[in-house]
Amino acid sequence: MNLFPQSNEFIKLPLKNANVLYLEQFYNSETSNFLFNTLRKEIQWQQDNIKLFGKTYKQPRLTALYAENEKPYSYSNITMYPESFFKELEQVKSDIEEKIAHKFTTCLANLYRTGNDSNGWHSDNEKELGHNPVIASLSLGATRSFQLKHKTDSSQRFNIELPSGSLLIMKGTTQEFWKHQIPKTKKHVGERINLTFRTIL
Ligand SMILES: O=C(O)CCC(=O)C(=O)O
Ligand SMILES: [Fe+2]
């Protein structure tokens, strides 16, 4: 069942204490394929170590950071220093900025190589993102589930499949009240690239 018929307008997800907007086809499949192939090659993907409760683990995906400024971004006990934007990534940033009339400084890129790669429950609430941050998340390549859960009301959960070319915006009190994740899947899925645009103050 297609809950979200193709449209140029965002739909707002029915979540309390949150403002999450979703557009299924921000880029068409031709542009999405081009971007996936280009970014797969051009982005300097790396696998960082993260520290959780004093133990060191390899992050279960590859990441990279791009920014207009030199400001580092720290989360899960790692500090990333940004590279400069390149042409295609800059174009994606400005396409999204134009669509939602909001400017970003920084792009955190994620590469999920297989269904075994993931991104555990978290909020994007680091202090350098400021209060009630606006975060734009573009998906390219394989479709993966994006899950949300309310921090204090366990009856509030939401699951949405994010296909290639889709754009999700989290803003308002979303990070304050909700966590999100990309769970592992046993399905045989191909690679997925996710770009999250943020502003680092
Ligand atoms: O891959 C995704 O869709 C989510 C990425 C994410 O939550 C993050 O990088 O903070
Ligand atoms: Fe996140």
Give a yes or no: residue 147 inside a domain. Answer: no
Give a yes or no: residue 26 inside a domain. Answer: yes
Of the candidates 18, 11, 48, 10, the residue with the CA atom closest to the CA atom of residue 180 = 18
Give a yes or no: residue 174 inside a domain. Answer: no
DSSP state of 82: P
The ligand minimizing its distance to the Cα of 178 is: 2
136: three-class secondary structure by DSSP: strand
The count of domains in the chain is 1
pLDDT tens, residue by residue, 23-81: 999 999 999 999 999 999 999 999 999 888 888 989 999 999 999 988 888 887 889 99
% of the chain beyond a pLDDT of 90? 86
Q: Which domain does 63 fall in, by range?
A: 13-130+186-195+197-201
The whole-number average pLDDT for the span 1-8 is 64
Q: For residue 22, what is the domain's CATH number?
A: 2.60.120.590
Give a yes or no: residue 58 inside a domain. Answer: yes
Cα-to-centroid distance, 124 and ligand 2 (Å): 5
CA dist., res. 96 & res. 86, Å (int): 16
pLDDT of residue 77: 80
Q: 3 pLDDT band (50/70/90 cuts)?
A: low
Query: Ligand 1, residues 182, 192, 193, 200: which to mutate, most atoms within 8 A of Cβ?
Result: 182
Cα-to-centroid distance, 131 and ligand 1 (Å): 19
Give the DSSP H/E element, type plus range, for residue 22.
strand 19-23
Cα-to-centroid distance, 155 and ligand 2 (Å): 21
What is the number of the ligand 1 atom nearest to the C-alpha of 137?
A: 3
pLDDT of residue 7: 76
Residues whose CB is less than 8 angstroms from the CB of residue 152 and which lie 6 or more positions away in sequence, other chains included: 177
Of the candidates 119, 111, 108, 139, the residue with the CA atom closest to the CA atom of residue 183 = 119
1: three-class secondary structure by DSSP: coil
Structure tokens at 28: 């068409």
Locate tokens 């797969």: which residue?
A: 40
Does residue 101 carry a pLDDT above 70?
A: yes
